[in-house]
Structure 1
Amino acid sequence: MKNLSLLLFSITLLVLPGCKNYVDEYVTYTINEPVFMAASEFRSTVAVEEPQPIEEQGKIVFYNGYLYISQPGEGIHVIDNRDPSNPRNVAFIELLGNADMHVREGVLYADSYVDLVWFDMSDPAEPVFKGRKEEVFPEALPPTENDFGIDYAKSMDKEKGIVVGWKTVERKELVREYKPRWWGWGGWQEDALYSSAPSSANSVGATGSMSRFAIYKENLYTVMNNMLGIFDLSGEAPVKKGDNMYVGFNVETIFSYKDCLFMGTPTGMIIYSVEDPLRPEYQSMITHVFGCDPVVVEDDIAYITVRSGTFCGQDADQLIIVNVANTKSPKHIVTYNMKSPKGLGIDNGTLFVCSDGLQVFDSEDPATIMAHRLAHFKEMDGFDVIPYNNVLMMIAEDGIYQYDYSDVTEIKQLSRLPIGK
């Protein structure tokens, strides 16, 4: 019995936990820190200038013969497109932090990072700045140029001004980690389980499918990150209606159809009813593999593209077609594999998809759409499109391409306005 007690005591010593279960380690990592501009300086930068070269592709809006093109982060180009065979660059609106815009009854509404601004476009060649709503997009931030994380806490310090950019820094921080240690036959051991590392004549313009702005009746709907904002446009100045509303994870695009809003997210399409325009009501969501996701709708059929890539998620490149006649219970029709599809548009049964250039389909029978391709233009990398009145306006990496599709059996290119430095 004495020998047994001695043996048990010896085993207890061998597995006795160490006194120090915390380990201090220095961790080095790279992060994007915000670059601020004083709010007063930021809000004094709006200017209307002579036409400037279009240096980078961005969002597009068409209204009453004019095409508006965002140059991301810098402003808006105004293109006289009344003759699509000869588009003319007529003005540039310098607007720091711009990404999205829309037009209603001759007024252009645009974001400027955290603010909403608007312009009188009675003479599109001479836009007139009319006003600004401050801090209506409080979490709007400029994009980064790398895959490193951002210092979100610092970026929300409003006393320092408006975040207008990022600087990449390397940090070294002391981190205390809990690492259970025990005495074994080989000395002090660590439990690996706990290790970690830093981780037209119309009153409303036509937008591309990548837009985060939509207009229904007298209201502008905006999606930024996870939030939906609503602005009443019935008066001389937009009026923010209520607080921003959470609608889903990282909503990327929004499309207005009938009395519903169709929102594209990295994981699926979300549908909200705006039958009561100021009280959007969730209807349903149809999920898909993780990826970037614009959507357009015609005749109760929704067309969704999902693409892979650095910022989009998995290696899935698809066109998904869904029947949304019953918005509370959408029905999947078919999914097609495509080559990195981006923006898309549809007009009177003709579907345009930015995939491997530009592809055009007869969508009369969605279940067999791939067997009814009408045209394929491969010489460019298309980003987004607006089909309107038999003219397709497409923005690509190297230019704005326009096509006449009045005869879908013989689609003709009308012009190309160059983009690039």
Structure 2
Amino acid sequence: MKKLIPLLFLGLAAIGLMLILNACNDSSGDSNVNPQTGTGGSLARFAITGNTLYIVSKQSLDVYDIRDGGNPAKSVTKNLGVGIETIFPYQQNLFIGAMDGMYIFNNHTPANPVLLSKYTHVLSCDPVVVQGRYAYVTLRAGVNCRPGGSFSSLDVVDIGDPTQPAMVGTQRMDSPYGLGVSGNKLFVCEGEKGFRVMDITDPKTPVQKRYFQNVPSYDVIVRENRLIITGQKGLFQYRYDDSDTIRFLSQIPVL
């Protein structure tokens, strides 16, 4: 299983690349200076906005100009230290998850993102998604994520001023992995323990509405009332509705 999960993450990342062809970010006018070209999961290590590709390694953020798709040209490398894990673009900022915190970069100048701040937390694995002025971060305890950690959590971070991010809420989770957000719904993957649907009508206080313990999940892409979920044996597509019910649609098996 440990060998299979990284392959499934790559599969979800590949789905994200395919969505680049026809996806539109939920932008609202000029505030989204560099619109996100595609849609990816929260555990993604790469993202595309406009003509710029961002890739995070374990220690850095690499930026490429892809106007000539056959010959991408590296623009800059930002060294960030160790434990860099994920990247999530939102409007004119990049949110980079690391084992000890979340970096916020302004990418108004796509070829040279500028570090605005770092939100620091206890050592853990921490994908992040953003909507409006709030970032949602899952912190997973475990041997490979938080040595000696006693519990996992979901943190809500106010990023209204991205130079001064501040936690405004936290609650315990079972074993959270990736997550996704759309409108007043937050979706949290709990690995082998299931999949949570949470109401964020009050964005600072997510409220659990459903917990599908029979839906193993590791990451999720949310798109037009559909969920593309990384499961134990492949990629699964579900449809969700206002009653917080999810209905299975299809599966891409990975053996």
**Cα shift readout 1:300-350 (whole Å, capped 9, x = no counterpart):** 210001112232123231101111111001121111110010000001121
Count of residues in correspondence between the two structures? 236
> How far has the Cα of 1:214 moved from its partner?
1.2
User: Which of the residues 169, 173, 179 maps onto 1:344?
Assistant: 179
Alpha-carbon distance change, 346 to 364 in structure 1, aligned in 2, over 3 angstroms? same
In 2: Cα distance, 1:338 partner to 1:57 partner:
22
Q: Is the 8 A contact 1:212 1:222 kept in 2?
A: yes
**Cα shift readout 1:235-273 (whole Å, capped 9, x = no counterpart):** 242432344220242210000001111000000111011
Alpha-carbon distance change, 326 to 103 in structure 1, aligned in 2, over 3 angstroms? farther
In 2: Cα distance, 1:336 partner to 1:297 partner:
17
Equivalent residue letter for 1:364: T
**Cα shift readout 1:145-189 (whole Å, capped 9, x = no counterpart):** xxxxxxxxxxxxxxxxxxxxxxxxxxxxxxxxxxxxxxxxxxxxx
Structure 2 residue 145 is matched with structure 1 residue 312: yes
In 2: Cα distance, 1:324 partner to 1:408 partner:
29
> How far has the Cα of 1:297 moved from its partner?
0.3
Gaps of 5+ in 2: 25-35
Equivalent residue letter for 1:57: L
Q: Which residue of 1 aligns with 2:67?
A: 234
> How far has the Cα of 1:105 moved from its partner?
6.0
In 1: Cα distance, 2:142 partner to 2:254 partner:
22
> How far has the Cα of 1:278 moved from its partner?
1.4
Q: Is the 8 A contact 1:333 1:366 kept in 2?
A: no
| Counterparts of residues 10-409 of structure 1 (less than 5 Å) | 56-61=7-12, 68=14, 102=17, 106=21, 200-202=22-24, 204-314=37-147, 315=149, 316-355=151-190, 356-370=193-207, 373-409=208-244
SS at match of 1:244: strand
Equivalent residue letter for 1:294: P
Equivalent residue letter for 1:393: I
Alpha-carbon distance change, 379 to 328 in structure 1, aligned in 2, over 3 angstroms? same
Gaps of 5+ in 1: 1-53, 63-67, 70-100, 107-199
In 1: Cα distance, 2:19 partner to 2:240 partner:
26
> How far has the Cα of 1:211 moved from its partner?
0.4
Equivalent residue letter for 1:302: A
SS at match of 2:112: coil
Alpha-carbon distance change, 61 to 238 in structure 1, aligned in 2, over 3 angstroms? farther
Query: Pairwise CA RMSD of aligned residues?
Result: 2.3
In 1: Cα distance, 2:101 partner to 2:129 partner:
13
In 2: Cα distance, 1:280 partner to 1:104 partner:
24
SS at match of 1:366: coil
Alpha-carbon distance change, 103 to 248 in structure 1, aligned in 2, over 3 angstroms? farther
Report sequence identity in percent: 34
Q: Is the 8 A contact 1:352 1:358 kept in 2?
A: yes
Larger radius of gyration between Structure 1 and Structure 2: 1
Q: Is the 8 A contact 1:293 1:307 kept in 2?
A: yes
Structure 2 residue 228 is matched with structure 1 residue 414: no
In 2: Cα distance, 1:283 partner to 1:405 partner:
36
SS at match of 1:272: strand
Q: Is the 8 A contact 2:93 2:106 kept in 1?
A: yes
> How far has the Cα of 1:412 moved from its partner?
2.1
In 2: Cα distance, 1:105 partner to 1:345 partner:
17
In 2: Cα distance, 1:258 partner to 1:367 partner:
20
Output the TM-score relative to the length of structure 1: 0.52
> How far has the Cα of 1:56 moved from its partner?
4.7
> How far has the Cα of 1:368 moved from its partner?
3.0
Q: Is the 8 A contact 2:129 2:181 kept in 1?
A: yes
In 2: Cα distance, 1:338 partner to 1:396 partner:
18
Alpha-carbon distance change, 265 to 282 in structure 1, aligned in 2, over 3 angstroms? same
